[in-house]
Amino acid sequence: MIHSVAIRILLGSCFLAAAMNLVHAQSNTPGGMPPPPGMSLTESAAMRFPQPVRVGDLRGRAVLRPVPSQDVLGRVREVVRDRDGRIMVVVDFGGFLGFGARLIAVPVDAMVLLGQDMEIVAFTPQQLRKFPTFSPSGTTTVAGDTVIKVGLAKPSH
Amino acid sequence: MNQIANPTSSPSAPRPRAGRRLHPWPIRIMHWINAVVMLVMITSGWGIYDDDVIIRGFYFSSFWRLGDWAAWSLNWHFAGMWFLVINGLAYLTYGFVTGRFREKLLPIRPAEVVHTVIDTLHFKFAHEDITVYNAVQKLLYIIVILAGISQVVTGLAIWKPVQFSGLVSLLGGFQTARVLHFAGMAVIVGFLIVHVALALLVPKTLWAMVAGGPRVTPNSQAQAHHPQQGHTT
Amino acid sequence: MRSLFRPDVVPDTAILDDHQPLIRSLERRGLIRGSLSLGALALLTGCDVKRPESVESALLAISRLNDDVQALLFNPNKLAPTYPASMILRPPKFNAYYDVMDVKPVNGKTWRLEVSGRVADKRHWKLQDLRALPQTSMVIQHICVEGWSYIGGWSGPTLRIFLEHVGADLRAKYVAFKTADDYPSSIDMATALHPQTLLAIQYGGETLADPFGFPVRLRTATKLGYKNPKWLTSIEVTNTYTGGYWEAKGFPWFAGI
């Protein structure tokens, strides 16, 4: 037992740089629950005790992955209504240190409030990368003082 | 070679007791206690960190954490803190009262620091006389001592943010105190990497911390405080 | 990589014998009832049973020592910092030992608060009874043991006023709570009597919402979040240590900030 412990510590310290990559090893599926098959986004959002929140308070919020490492997926840029009247959250998504980010529109039913942030629980980062870039035509911006209802989640562990 | 005529003629240089080893046994004991306790605090701290990460996207896998999950990381951390503080206070007291800090860690001359860094980068850390610390060593040891004290201060602030709310305000708030606590850990881990690597590269220094090292001579200490032209290592 | 403390072979039940002293010491604190399975023991200690029991006992003993130190450090006159109402997070952050879909809302009309233990008046309380007591509001920082925090605003009668109304023995050691979501908790009397310990029935000036503990939750400004049970159903004044949900899993009990 002590021998194997010593070897692990030795290997770990020798490959510190490689090991630091290990800290990013996470499950690829969201910790939050995407809707089970057959259930719509709206129905699953309704199960999360949606709470009133002021749209103006959402702008600028970090959008996180529902995993223990709390990866930042992007920031909330705007909240809009699409042609069908559905509320979409426009997220400044992806990129690195400000480069390569693009706007995508995520249905608010796919997201939750988590304290001072938000999370996308219904789509994986891989799925989000396939979202089309947001185009404002046909959408209307929701005013900052409007109160909408958004579901909740507990912190991911 | 110039000889310093008589160390006692320079009142600023402390008088080491002749024949004393580089690392007296109290120092060695406190050093190794601290080594174990610091590792406990760091790795259990990583377990606590994981419960709500400070750097989003940065997370320690279970290999690096002490404590199967948050509750036990906390228990290790709040147990280790007693040993850290008691041992740390004993070490600080010893260092000041015996004059060891003044003798070994001061003075630090900027020119020496630059010189020693250049030498180290050229892989020249032969270190003939390990009883005299070079400028980089002195700087690093002072930094890690200050970082350790900072960890205790920031740790107290985030442990009792209401009872010590004044301290928390001074530090810029609870979340800032938390970030400072994490940053202090990063400084200490950085030090550890350099410290352990150099000790392994100059193994007689490691042995010195086990068996005590060479006996300190008045000459070497005098030279440390009044260096000749050229560097001492 | 697997944890260094995870055993390479599955332990056999004989290991429970090694843990009898630990089990007995926990039982003395009223934390375990009934028979113990390996699984329950693993859940209880939050780890694999192969870890030396002496290490865990030592850690728990130091944790109890820390509780005593914290009780000494607790200044009953020191108020937690307060903040302007504009800083209240709306809605607040949700947390529980289960996800939000499993919250079971309480019917405010049929809800009753049971009162028991060292009190003179053991009648049930309705929500309007709590509303009729003098109300206190506070905007304070909620701090979770996990490390996150937010500014929240709660209102309700202080626990002190409630205890005085039911003729509680204010020299008893503990105030213990039961909840609708099976999350028992208990606090020390000194904290219970602190002016910033409320039976909160409002958040941000509005009735507490279902996910945040409707109709009433404990809200004390001087303890970590997990010491503030939601959906209260019973308050007991007692000299018997009853622990709590997370304490049974190894978390500290005093948990003062």
Give the start-end residues of each E strand in C114-221. 114-117, 136-143, 149-156, 174-179, 185-188, 197-200, 202-203, 206-207, 217-220
Residue B48 lies in a domain: yes
Chain B residues 154-193 with CB within 8 Å of chain C: 159-163, 165, 169, 174-175, 178
A117 or C17, which is more confident: A117
ipTM score of complex: 0.84
Task: Please provide the CATH number assigned to the domain covering C85-249.
Answer: 3.90.420.10
Identify the residue whose tokens are 């055993």.
C7
Instruction: Assess contact for A153 and C99: CB atoms under 8 A.
Output: yes
Q: What percent of chain B has pLDDT over 70?
A: 84
pLDDT at A30 (0 to 100): 35
CA-CA distances (angstroms) from residue C146 to A71, A104, B27, B54, C251? Answer: 17, 32, 36, 11, 12
Render pLDDT for B166-213 as a digit per residue (tens, 0 to 9).
999 999 999 999 999 999 999 999 999 999 999 999 899 999 999 999
Counting Cα atoms < 13 Å in the Cβ hemisphere of C99 gives 17
Judged by a CB distance cut-off of 8 A, whether residue C148 touches chain A is yes
Q: What is the mean pLDDT of chain A?
A: 84
Spatial separation of the C-alpha atoms in residues A152 and C105, rounded to whole Å = 15
Which tokens belong to A42?
A: 């709206």
Q: Which residues pair with C114 in a beta bridge?
A: C234
Give the start-end residues of each E strand in chain B. none
Does the pLDDT value for residue B153 go beyond 80? yes
Select the residue of C5, C59, C148 nearest B79 (Cβ to Cβ): C59
Select the residue of A19, A62, A69 nearest B58 (Cβ to Cβ): A69
Does the pLDDT value for residue A26 go beyond 70? no
Pick the range with the lowest mean pLDDT from A1-10, B42-51, C248-257: A1-10
Element (DSSP H or E) covering residue B142: helix B135-159
Spatial separation of the C-alpha atoms in residues B21 and A146, rounded to whole Å = 75
Contact partners, residue C238, CB within 8 Å, separation at least 6: C117, C118, C172, C173, C174, C175, C176
Q: Which residues pair with C117 in a beta bridge?
A: C237
Q: Which domain holds residue B197?
A: 19-224
Render pLDDT for B57-97 as a digit per residue (tens, 0 to 9).
999 999 999 998 999 999 999 999 999 999 999 999 999 99
Nearest CA in chain C to B159: C257
Residue B231 lies in a domain: no
Q: Closest Cα partner for B65 from C249, C6, C98?
A: C6
- Residue B214 φ/ψ, nearest 5 degrees: -65, 160
Instruction: Assess contact for B47 and B59: CB atoms under 8 A.
Output: no
Residue-range domains of chain A with CATH:
2-152 (2.30.30.240)
pLDDT at B108 (0 to 100): 84
Q: Which amino acid is at B216?
A: V
Give the CATH number, domain containing residue B119.
1.20.950.20
Residue B185 lies in a domain: yes
Q: Domain ranges in chain C?
A: 14-73, 85-249
Instruction: Assess contact for B228 and B3: CB atoms under 8 A.
Output: no
Identify the residue whose tokens are 């008893």.
C172
C93 vs A contacts (CB less than 8 Å): 114-116, 155
Instruction: Assess contact for B139 and B187: CB atoms under 8 A.
Output: no
pTM, rounded to two decimals = 0.83
pLDDT at C56 (0 to 100): 93
Residue contact B71–C249, C-beta within 8 A: yes
List b or e across B191-200, with b for residues whose CB sees 16 or more CB atoms inside 10 angstroms.
beeebeebee
Residue B6 lies in a domain: no
Number of domains chain B contains: 1
Judged by a CB distance cut-off of 8 A, whether residue C89 touches chain A is yes
Residue contact C250–B75, C-beta within 8 A: yes
Contact partners, residue B128, CB within 8 Å, separation at least 6: B233
List b or e across C106-127, with b for residues whose CB sees 16 or more CB atoms inside 10 angstroms.
bebeebebebebbbeeeeebeb
The burial of C180, by beta-carbon neighbours within 10 Å (0-12 exposed, 13-18 middle, 19 or more buried), is given as buried
